[in-house]
Chain A
C-alpha cells in the first residue's frame, strides 16, 4: 500500500496546509513540512528517512518512529489518499 498526499492539498512554504475538500487548515513544523513535501514528491518511507537523516542530527530509528506517527496523523486528518480509495 502506498501513501500519497491528496492532489488538491495546498502546502505553503512556511508550513500552512489547506484542504479545499473539507475547508480545514493545518500547520506543520519544519520537519513535518519537509516530510510532507517528500510525500508529495512520491518518495518512499525509506527514502524519506534517508533524506531526513542526512539533513538532521538524529537517528534512523527515531525518524522512522516519528514518520509512522506523522503518517497516522495525516491519515486521521484525511490528507492521505490510500490505494483503495
Chain B
C-alpha cells in the first residue's frame, strides 16, 4: 500500500516586487510547540483552549534582573508589585516571595493584598478612588497612602483628627518630563505649584506623616530620559521640604510605565528591537537621583512599581483555529477562539502569534479575528501566517500584563489560567468560569420567573 502525501490547502500568492522593506527584515516563523518544556498540545488537551499560561521561571528571572539593575546602581531599592497589571493571587505571591511590596489602586485590590498576607505597612495605596472606608482601613494598617487630590487630603485630615492616628502619606506629582501626553489628571502638578501647595498643607496640618513623593509619568514609556527628568524634579521637591521644614522625605516612588517588548500598533520596528531595557530605565532614574541636589542624612528609599515590563513576556495565551474564510477583497481570514475579550491588549499591540505545530514554508497574508460577534474583534489586521487548519493551535506571546485583569466576560466565559513552575510542573491557578459563576449573581423577580412561548 502506498502512503498518501500530507495534505496542505492550496494557495496562490502574488509576487510583489515593488515595495522592498528598507530594513530587509522578513518574518521568520518557528513553531512554538512547547512552553517551558511543556507541550502546547498537551496543555490544550488537559485544560482546554483558550488557556493562559504563566511561566514562573521567566517571571522570577525578569524580577531578579530588574532588581539587580536598580540595586547595582542605588543603595536602597524597594519594588512594589502593581496589582492592576495582574492580580491573580499566585502571581502576586511570587512577587511577594521575591520581596515585592504591594501597590494597589482600589479598595478591592487593597483587600486582595491583605488577603494574600501582605502586611499593611507594605501596601502602597495609589489612585483617585479611595473611599472613606478604604482610607480608614489604610490608616489603621499604617499603609502608605499616596494622595491624588485635595478632597482626599482633607478626608485624611478628618480621619486623622477623628481617630487620633497619623496617616502615612505621600503625594502623587504630575509634571512635564518632555513627553506627550502629560498625565496631569493624576496627582498634583509640579510646574504650576499645586504639588508644593499640597506638601505645605500636609506639613502645616501637623496630623499626617509625610513619608514620600510619588510620580508615574505615563505608560509604555519608550524614553528613559523622561524618568531622569521626573526623578530630578521629585528630588528638588524633597530638598525644598528639607530646606523649609527640616523634614526628610523617606522615599521617592518613581512608579512604573516601563515599556515591555511588545510592539505598539503603528510602530515601524518591533518592540524587541526598540524598547529600552530595564537597565536603561534604572540608569536614567538612579543617575538623576544621585546627581540631584537632595542631600538628606539618609538617602531616600527608591520605590519602583513596574508591572508590565516584569510580567508581559512571562505569559502566553494558547488559542485554536475555529475556521478559515476568504474576505471580499480576497484576503484570507482566520477565526480564533481568542478575541479581544481575553486579549484586551490587542487594541494596543501587534502581538506576536505563532502556530504550535510544524508547517511548510508557504504563508498567506491573513486577518486574524476573534470569536465575538463584534466587528472590532480583531487580533491582527494583517499578519503573514503559515497555512492554519481548523483546530490548529496558536500561541500568542507577551500577554502577561493587563489581560488577566481587563478581560471581559462578553458572550462567553473566561478560561483557565495555569502556571508552569520552575520544575516544569503545571498548576491550575484560576479555574474557568461556568454559567453558574455568572448566573449565581443574578436575582429573578418572582413575576418574571415563568413564561410560555
Binding site for B on A (CB under 8 A): 17, 24-32, 34-36, 52, 55-58, 62-63, 66-67, 69-70, 72-74, 76-77, 79
Contacts and interface: CB of A to CB of B under 8 A. Distances in A.
Interface string B307-348: 000000000000000000010001000000000000000000
Label chain B's interface by main secondary structure: loop
Closest 5 CB pairs of A and B: A32-B10, A58-B7, A56-B7, A57-B4, A29-B362
B6 interface: yes
Nearest to B325: A69
B5 A26 contact: no
Given A26-B15, A27-B15, A72-B326, A56 B5 contact: yes
Nearest to A25: B15
Interface centre among B4, B7, B15, B326 (most CB of A within 10 A): B7
Given A55-B4, A55-B5, A77 B12 contact: yes
B10 A66 contact: yes
B29 to A, nearest CB: 15
Contact of B12 (A34, A55, A56, A74): A74
Contact of B9 (A24, A25, A34, A66): A66
Contact of B13 (A27, A36, A58, A66): A27
Label chain A's interface by main secondary structure: helix
Nearest to B329: A76
B450 to A, nearest CB: 44
B10 A26 contact: no
Interface centre among B12, B13, B15 (most CB of A within 10 A): B12
Contacts of B360: 29
Given A24-B14, A26-B14, A29-B360, A73 B8 contact: no
Nearest to B4: A57
B11 interface: yes
A70 B326 CA distance: 10
A31 B8 contact: yes
Given A29-B10, A56-B7, A57-B5, A69 B326 contact: yes
A25 B10 CA distance: 17
Contacts of A55: 4-5
Contacts of A25: 14-15
A57 B7 contact: yes
Contacts of A79: 12
B9 A27 contact: no
Given A28-B10, A57-B7, 7 more contacts: A17-B12, A32-B11, A36-B12, A56-B7, A57-B4, A73-B11, A79-B12
Contacts of B8: 29-31
9 contacts: A17-B12, A29-B8, A30-B5, A32-B11, A52-B7, A56-B4, A58-B7, A66-B9, A73-B326
